[in-house]
A and B are shown apart, each in its own frame.
Chain A
Amino acid sequence: MKYITEYRDREKANAIANRIVAVAKDQSMTIMEVCGTHTMALARFGIRQILPQNINLISGPGCPVCVTPNRYLDHAIALARQDNTIICTFGDMIKVPGSTSSLESERARGQDIRIVYSTLDALELARNNIDKEIIFLGVGFETTAPTIAASIDIASRQSISNYSVLCANKVVPPALLALLSGRTEIDGFILPGHVSTIIGSESYTPIFEKHPVACSIAGFEPSDMLEAIYELAVQISSGDPKLHNSYRRVVTANGNIKAKALLNRIFEASDAEWRGIGNIPESGLSIRDEFSSYDAAKKFNVTIEETVEPAGCRCGEILTGNIKPADCPLFGNNCTPSHPIGACMVSSEGTCAAHFKYGS
């Protein structure tokens, strides 16, 4: 068992696709994949092609970089311009355009901005550069948030005082609730596998009870996603929505209890701004007052430039599944991965980047 090749088997994939055709018949079904990693995997494996035409897959707001508002980037850039500061970020953020600059441009101008692969690497930088301030850009959902919480936890235990986090972490369920409250044409949701691994399938129960809609938690291999789509097709065609878990080999009802406890200790829920969607109550994570010395937003007083949104960019509508990338006049013309205008073109999990790269 290698947990990769078994799930990429051609015959198995086609067998599931045939079951989907048999269940969905001619019924038109609109299914949203909430998570950016699903968007990328669907494109990479060419899954749309083996699905019947009447199943319409649309992408949701589950790319953390894409939903991070310009204001956050401008704040990060202002922090980067301080003396004796090292900004640490995951690679995806480096090219995202802010109002008038980007971290990449700031780095080219001489600011110290480094790509790290783990918050632990940022802590190591803090230990090795005690005369500098190390600021980690905390972006991501429940999948990455525990690693950021852990870094604050370690910094506090080891009294590392030159480390802080500019926190824009977000949580998925409130965004899902916001989507469901505003939209009725989505027949089913492929729920994120990684996020659900942390929060557990039970976390969706209150939302599901309020807005019963076909739901299936899915893994990221072709068979995983096809199984989830089959499950959704069964639920939609029978008019019997369920909160289903197709990713049982990883996702449990209660999730990762240790990670959740850590999240809860370091962070508290707060309202958060989502690019293109606006403010969603309780959808963000803020660092608790007890740990405010690790909160870069509180630790440093910087002047943030006025936010300017890129003209003509329709990322917001793409993130909510209202339009497809090709419907945006900038897509592929003015906005490409080498010259991105909107965040959806930058992140490797962005809907526009997926459509551009894989030509779907």
Chain B
Amino acid sequence: MNETQLSNNESRITMAHGGGGIQSQELIQGIFASHFSNPILNAMGDAAIVEIPRTYLAYTTDSYVVKPIFFPGGDIGKLAVCGTVNDLAVSGARAIYMTAGFIIEEGFEFKQLESIVASMATVARACGIMIVAGDTKVVEKGNCDGIFINTSGIGQLFVKQAMTSSRIETGDVIIINGSIADHGMAIMSAREGLSMDTSIESDCAPLNSLAEHLSAAVPNIKFMRDATRGGLATVLCEAVGENNFGIEIDESKIPLKEGTAAACELLGIDPLYVANEGKLVAVVPADSAEVALATMQSHPQGKESEIIGCVTEDNVGKVNLITTIGSRRLITMLSGEQLPRIC
């Protein structure tokens, strides 16, 4: 049975699709296997049998519960693959295999599910990662919000040394590959209840190719991190952590799109703390900064890359921001969630 027949016969997910019987089989064959098809998955064992190269591996897991499921610039499926690939990429690993577990709410539309799965397959193919195992559970209506996806991913290290913040030294330079806060503000704008007429698109994109290019051009790169939940500010705060240095960034150098900036102003939200899904923060030695910047800017995912700051000897353990008017303020970890302001 192919997916078209499936969609025509029954347009919504029922509890039977999670029951393990014929309908479950139809769902797996009709949607998942047909989109994700690869020799390892097609074996349909209880576990995927994969070949592991003789090397160091990076191994990650993440869950995706984004609302709305479809948003300007992507959907939960694209997000799930990009998120997994990016966690591996910034750890200096080339994504090779991933798994995907789907928790689907009874009544979910087949058409939507297929669209999500198709976008996962498209991104996975583009990133060269194989989805080798999966699982589907259906829960009663009301017990989950449409669809949740859990993934795990395995990547092969392409850097010689694992990238940790402890390798960062005074004088190193901090680079970001483009504008911040687009994903978070796209989600907020698209969410039910916020009738804001905006054209903000999520930056959701795979960073594997950019990360690998950069690591090849600058082998002594110290640290990479994708600035997802908690935004740029959180990545920098985590980088200083307990280490023996400080970080100073220049607000006027941080790329921020006009529409995104306006939405942040309107809602009283600090863009430094807003989630990104395609932004990579790299720390490189000062003498490699130019090469790193040029490499990033010549890559499709890094055209708007900017040097935004540097690592300092003073202000140990602190992140300082030079504001647009030239003052300094401390950037701290976000405590609680950012709430839209009242007036």
Contact = CB atoms under 8 A, between A and B. Distances in A.
A28 B123 CA distance: 62
A95 B336 contact: yes
A9 to B, nearest CB: 7
| Main DSSP-derived SS at the B contact region | loop
Given A49-B328, A94-B339, A358-B330, A348 B323 contact: no
Interface string B301-343: 0000000000000000000000111111110100110111111
B50 interface: no
Given A115-B193, A338-B336, A359-B330, A139 B324 contact: no
B290 interface: no
Interface string A316-340: 0000000000000000000011101
Interface in A331-360: 336-338, 340, 347-349, 356-360
Interface residues of A, number: 52
Interface size class of B (residues with CB under 8 A): 20 to 34
Contacts of A5: 324
Contacts, number: 113
B325 A8 contact: yes
Given A4-B265, A95-B336, A121-B195, A45 B342 contact: no
A101 B325 CA distance: 41
Given A358-B330, A359-B329, A336 B342 contact: no
Given A4-B261, A8-B324, A50-B325, A91 B340 contact: yes
B329 A358 contact: yes
Pick the most buried of B262, B330, B335, B339: most chain A CB atoms within 10 A of its CB.
Answer: B339
Interface in A124-140: 139-140
A29 interface: no
Interface string A1-35: 01011001110011000000000000000000000
A282 interface: no
A143 B342 CA distance: 9
Contact of B328 (A46, A120, A338): A46
Given A14-B326, A356-B335, A120 B195 contact: yes
B197 interface: no
A40 B324 contact: no
Interface string A184-200: 00000000001000000
Given A40-B268, A90-B340, A90-B342, A121 B326 contact: no
Given A95-B336, A222-B323, A222-B325, 6 more contacts: A92-B342, A338-B336, A347-B341, A347-B342, A356-B335, A358-B330
Interface of B: 193-196, 252, 258, 261-262, 265, 267-268, 270, 323-330, 332, 335-336, 338-343
